[in-house]
Copies of this chain bind each other. A is one copy, B any other.
Amino acid sequence: MSSENNNFTAWAGVENGKPLTQVELTLKQWDENTIEMDVTHCGICGSDVHTLDENWGPTDYPCVVGHEIVGVVTRVGKNVTNLKVGDRAGVGAQSGACHECEPCLEGQENMCQGGIVYTYSSRWPCGDKSYGGYADKWRGDYRFAFKVPDNMTSEIAATFFCAGITTYAPLKRSNIIPGKSVVGVMGIGGLGHFGVQFAKALGAKVVGISQNDSKREIALELGCDDYINASDEASMAKYNSGLTHIICTGTSPDFQWHTYFALLKVNGHFINVSAPEWQFPGMSAFTLLSKQIKIYGSGIGSPKEIEEMLAFAAEKDVKPWITTYKMSDVNKAIEDFRAGKPRFRFVLEN
């Protein structure tokens, strides 16, 4: 099962505005912390498209995006303890950390201050480029690859590794009290549909929030107990000081803090996991003082949290709603993604 072949085939972005192109590239150099896998599935994340479009800064082409990767392990280095050849494994947005800084030593490698390796658009410490999962193979550090639970299919597993952990981790950390917490999920999309399910599974009452009524039905179908149309005064008024938490998975450039703070109870949490190109607006000190609301963001999750999420999701039957595309149809999948068609996540399969 071992492979000495250092090449792989990927669907790479080669230039801004051009379709992805099938190219042969070189895997990162092998070391004893490395695993290699045959990619079977890879989710499409908004970050993939933002990166291909250079929305967050220049992209170092060729760029192989995809950070919701599941595959079958084909080779493991001597230091690898968590995976063996033949295992199904998943990889998310982070593929490396320094393992020496304070957050790393505290088990918060997702907040590593010494040099995070992102799964794509990044560099390994050896200098090699990191490549994501729109490909036939993936090679990287075993400490950021996780065994897929036996009772979870690979196509279902894939999107947990970015969208899933991004919503699970902050909800898990934010003191949700079963039967007492009321969580508003802003944005009913790829992240939001995980947010709804995780908040429910953690015992909260869950209220979907979107800019109009078009998502009402599907939000309730996902498990929301209620729904707020943020453009409708009466709908907003019903939850005036009614939520303990808001998780913001998406919003629009006309976002105003006070609009959503009105929905939150005293000492409420406003948790941002979205990454729009535009800025959050300013606010008066009184907005911060009047209800003592905590604003914070959360970036993916730690390896420990990923393991915990997989077990929790398998136990509570949290499941993404996905549409699968053949990997070779990736350009069609991205076209549909740009058109806003995912309900709620696309997964490419080899």
Q: Interface of A with B (CB < 8 Å)?
A: 102-103, 108, 111, 113, 241, 265-267, 272-276, 279-299
Contact = CB atoms under 8 A, between A and B. Distances in A.
Given A241-B113, A266-B103, A290 B286 contact: no
15 contacts: A108-B266, A272-B285, A272-B288, A273-B289, A274-B285, A275-B286, A275-B289, A279-B282, A287-B297, A288-B297, A289-B297, A290-B299, A292-B299, A293-B296, A295-B295
A176 B103 CA distance: 18
Task: Report the copy number of this chain in the oligomer.
Answer: 2
B111 A291 contact: yes
B295 A288 contact: yes
Nearest to A274: B285
Contacts of A102: 265-266
A122 to B, nearest CB: 15
Nearest to A241: B113
A309 B174 CA distance: 27
A296 B297 contact: no
Given A102-B266, A111-B291, A276-B285, 4 more contacts: A111-B266, A279-B285, A288-B296, A295-B296
A239 B286 CA distance: 29
A275 B279 contact: no
Contacts of A284: 279-280
A13 B127 CA distance: 69
Contact of A272 (B265, B289, B296): B289
